[in-house]
Amino acid sequence: MGLTGVVVGSVLGLTTKLGSNVLQKVPYMRHPWEHVLFVGVGAVAGNYFQKKYHQDLKEVEELRLYLERRADKAE
């Protein structure tokens, strides 16, 4: 459940920093530690949002089951 979110987040973090350097018209690898920082933050964010997505799916399924049982009792 974690690899896809980490990879996507890492790529987004890296492209964010590279894009920032392009807009500033400075060399792509101007401050290499910032690239590592952005990749790390992106990986953490990607992992968090992937876990949150699966947690939300589980909660929605529980609510659907609850509402179905409640509708059956009302009839």
| Tens digit of each residue's pLDDT (9 = 90 or more) over 16-48 | 999 999 999 999 889 999 999 999 999 999 999
CA 9 to chain centre: 6
Total domain count, the chain = 1
Cα 72 to Cα 64: distance, rounded to the nearest angstrom: 12
Helix (H) or strand (E) holding 59: helix 32-74
SS3 21: helix
| Residue 45 confidence (pLDDT) | 92
DSSP helix/strand/coil, 1 = coil
Q: What is the pLDDT of residues 41-73, one digit of tens each?
A: 999 999 999 999 999 999 999 999 999 888 777
Rounded Cα distance, 17 and 48, in Å? 20
Q: pLDDT-based confidence at 75, cuts 50/70/90?
A: low
For residue 12, the enclosing domain spans 3-74
The amino acid at residue 20 is S
